[in-house]
Amino acid sequence: MGLLDGIRGPADLKKIPVDRLDELATQIRTFLVESVSKTGGHLGPNLGVVELTIALHRVFDSPHDTIVFDTGHQAYVHKMLTGRHDFSKLKKQGGLSGYPSRAESVHDVVENSHASTALSWAEGIAQARVLSGEPGRHTVAIIGDGALTGGMAWEALNNIAVERDLPLTIVVNDNERSYAPTIGGLADHLATLRTTRNYERMLDWGKTALKRTPVVGGMVYDTLHGVKKGVKDIVAPQGMFEDLGIKYLGPVDGHDEQAVEGALMRARAYGSPCIVHVITQKGRGYYPAVSDVDGDQWHGIGKFNPETGLPFEVSGRIWTDEFSDEMVRIGAERPDVVAITAAMMIPVGLDAFAKAYPRRVFDVGIAEQHAVTMASGLAFGGMHPVVAVYATFLNRAFDQLLMDCALHRQGVTFVLDRAGVTGSDGASHNGMWDMAITSIVPGLRLAAPRDGEQVKAQLREALDVGDAPTVIRFPKGDVAEPLAAVRQEGVLDVLHDTEDGPEVVIVGVGSMCPTALGVAEKLEAQGHSTMVVDPRWALPISADLVALASQARHLVVIEDNLVTNGVGAATAEALRTAGVQMPVHTFGIPKQFLQHASRAQVLEEIGLTPDVVATELIGRLG
């Protein structure tokens, strides 16, 4: 590993001669490609920030100075330069997290991998340093152009702009992408800034013109300041930032380490909030990543051949594919159906819909709150919007779901990808909160499809609801094999039943249906008769489920959601309200943040497997 092998912390980095930093950058990129090819991970973003991260750790003194990464998936280089070189179990149980982690290092501060939060964190930290009498400690926030599309970032900038003597540096890592190319007015503005690298040259031209042509039509040219202002307004519209009162430096070539270092040193010396605009290239130094036009494949990648860039394993059909294909079919049938996503067009499967119906899809950037309220407006205007986001990101727009959508009884369908335990991305990406928070929303209906056929069927059912919000939620990974119902009981699907009537009714919610069937098999081996039910529409609790459960002695609910306030809790409340007295055994995700590991490992750890659930139930049933 050469130079990289000798770096156990930022102090070692600062000892490396300037003329060997390019060599170090090459070693880091080689290490990234070789390591991530064996584990999978966020490769493209990290290849793009090598020189930037080197410069950060050479100019600032972490952890005395605080470095905050927005989102954090671009922190692999930061991990290396702070002494973490074992990437053999990246994102796996017992290995390095894919994001900054306080448990790993004092150099890691913010481990929440939700975007657009870094500026608020950084202002708070910087203010605390000043209030504590430590104004010499600097705070640095690194935020991408994609994350700057989030409203929370601009709330922070609005407050930062009025601060003086606050040692805060904001690095805008501008690679024109989040997952895919960044779009919107801010993206257009940054694109304009990228074209202004000749600003100083044009200013020199202006000075020369002033000297050569002092009189025009008998009037003396304005002062040099006026020429400077005129040129600046034409070719360097960084005024958007400077008009806020925040000093702007850039744009800087993010792959010229010395140029970045120089800009950061100027920002540090300034002593007040300063934006350093750095232009980087996602995937830099690795041709397959650079040539990825869509920008999605190499943002997060599985195991691959580093020589060819081809994946070692071709994944099968995933849950997202079922939604994607059905949306295209529905689009042809219903011109009122439109789609909205928050900078995740490809990950949530709306790219095919966008290709087929480009005018009917809206990517609003990392702005979930805006997406939900805009959807409410679209519904009021006669459309039926489908808002497709990761389940974990619905948390960010709960107020809009409650007060803009549900209160106004707008027909909006929310499609929540990566619901339940997602595993390797850690605590902030598990979609374990959605059923708990939506369960308190008046009028909302939530479906948890058990397989791909149900994704398609229940999506269509949701789109027929025009006077309330609906939710469809499904997990990450390969789609489950179809599970046929043995019969229907009202709105319910009965997946398994015994001839003599059940002692135990087991409710499997969505992807937990196979687990429920496994539990039933083990209980029956111990002499307990069972029935397995898929409620299909898990919320609100149907009268059919209450009636069916009342015929048994025990009710079991298995869900991949926070067990507190989840479907099990709602079912128990529905039974009490109906006057049905019976034990309700709930199994779900405990109220705790889950460490990164595979989905199977997490489910085993929290006891959501047939063996563990059945063993627990046998002990209770006697």
**417 contacts: CB under 8 Å, gap ≥ 6:** 319, 320, 323, 347, 348, 349, 388, 389, 390, 391, 431, 474, 476
Q: How far is it, in rounded angstroms, from Cα 345 to Cα 322?
A: 15
* Residue 453, marked binder: no
SS3 labels along 385-436? EEEEEEHHHHHHHHHHHHHHHHCCCCCCEEEEECEECCCCCCHHHCECCHHH
* Residue 356, marked binder: no
79 annotated active-site = no
- End-to-end, the C-alpha distance of the chain in Å comes to 60
* Residue 225, marked binder: no
One of 29, 137, 396, 473 is an active-site residue; which one? 396
One of 58, 91, 177, 282 is an active-site residue; which one? 282
One of 368, 456, 473, 559 is an active-site residue; which one? 368
* Residue 376, marked binder: no
DSSP string, 182-238: --SHHHHHHHHHHT-TTHHHHHHHHHHHHHH--EETTEE---HHHHHHHHHHHH--T
* Residue 496, marked binder: no
Q: Nearest 5 degrees, angle CA 619-CA 620-CA 622?
A: 70
* Residue 64, marked binder: no
* Residue 490, marked binder: no
Measuring CA to CA, how many Å separate 577 from each of 310, 482, 504, 543, 549?
Answer: 57, 34, 20, 11, 14
Q: How far is it, in rounded angstroms, from Cα 534 to Cα 537?
A: 8
Residue type at 25 in one-letter notation: A
* Residue 248, marked binder: no
Q: How far is it, in rounded angstroms, from Cα 611 to Cα 10?
A: 48
* Residue 107, marked binder: no
Closest to 516 (Cα-Cα) out of 560, 570, 548: 560
Cis, peptide link before residue 10, omega less than 30° from 0: no
282 annotated active-site = yes
* Residue 550, marked binder: no
Helix (H, G, I), strand (E, B) or coil at 496: strand
β-pair type (470-473, 413-417): parallel
* Burial state string for 47-83 with b = 16 or more CB within 10 A and e = fewer than 16: bbbbbbbbbbbbbbebbebbbbbbbbbbbbbbbbbbe
Closest to 43 (Cα-Cα) out of 277, 313, 304: 304
396 annotated active-site = yes
| Sequence ranges of the binding site | 73, 113-115, 145-147, 175, 286, 368
| Sequence ranges of the binding site for Mg(2+) | 145, 175
| Sequence ranges of the binding site for thiamine diphosphate | 73, 113-115, 146-147, 175, 286, 368
Residues noted as catalytic: 282, 368, 396
